[in-house]
Amino acid sequence: MPRSVDLFEEAGAKYIVPVGEHCDGFAMYDSKITRWKATEMGPKKDIVGLIFDEAKKRGLKVGMSSHFAYGWHWWTYKEKFETMNPELKDFYWTKHDRWEPASKEWVKHWYERSMDMMTQYKPDLFWFDLGFSEPAYEEYRKKFIANYYNQGLKNNQEVVLNYKNIKWRPVPDGAAVLDIESGKLDRIREEAWQTDMSLGGWRWGYTDDYQMREAGAYINDLIDIVSKNGCLLLNVAPNKHGVIPEDQQAILREIGAWLKINGEGIYKTRPFTVFGQGPTNAVMKLHGNMHDKGFTSDDVRYTKKGKIYMLLF
């Protein structure tokens, strides 16, 4: 784990967000709520806790992602499928129509798990996937947000909450930070926002045919995002041994090398009056990156921090 966090720091990262639990609900932390967790199965390690410890040693901000709310829509329930095994009910839950609203019991369970992560690890950032934004979560969503922000105040800790829904916002602007998965904005947003994207495009976990772009393409995305008041959360995919493959490492190091030279125009900057000039702009929607045209040498982006920075592609 130290080598991975060293790599993130070398890449120029200022915050790290390990997956707490994905949609299946397998906890990568030492959950007090579920038996399905990495401390008891698989690696038998507190993966999140190890990353937190290493990040804090280096003065990096560290968060957690929770995809569990969307888990209600995750499984298929058919006769003879493992999802129908009553002995595994605590993992697959109970049979329901995939797209019906989440039950009160499920949402309460999501809340308890989220509170467990919050109180144990005290993350600087909490990232929530789709599901969190749905109307069924409103009561417990408000409770969780209040508890998270109050815990931050109590601990004198600045905290950030990400939600992922560009069309329907579950909280007022300014109360949390919008995240756009694999997409960007086509304009400056007054409130801070974030793009999360993967080195592997559609692939978020490791595969043998994990395909990446050149490092310059991710740098161009970073420039465009920052010029519009956004941040970039870039996903990497360790292999089954928990090792980040060399080709991914090489791209991260190239990004870091660029930031060592040009980071003055990225870190702690704010948007200029206009985000830029040139023929290319982002497609503003979820997964919009899949429809983007590449930036050209005619494109320019601006940021400011006392003085104006012109960033060329």
Q: What is the pLDDT of residues 106-145, one digit of tens each?
A: 999 999 999 999 999 999 999 999 999 999 999 999 999 9
C-alpha separations of 50 from 2, 13, 15, 71, 265 in Å: 9, 17, 15, 25, 32
**pLDDT of 290:** 64
Domains of the chain and any CATH numbers: 2-268 (3.20.20.80)
Three-class SS of residue 197? Answer: strand
The list of the chain residues with pLDDT below 70 reads 166, 286, 288-291
Query: What is the rounded distance in angstroms from the CA atom of residue 217 to the CA atom of residue 198?
Result: 12
**pLDDT of 288:** 66
Task: Enter the DSSP assignment of 82.
Answer: G
**pLDDT of 202:** 86
Q: What is the pLDDT of residues 75-112, one digit of tens each?
A: 999 999 999 999 999 999 999 999 999 999 999 999 99
**pLDDT of 284:** 79
Bin 32: left if φ > 0, else alpha if -120 < ψ < 50, else beta: alpha
**pLDDT of 294:** 86
Which of 278, 277, 263 lies closest to 232, judged by CA?
263
Predicted TM-score of the model (pTM)? 0.94
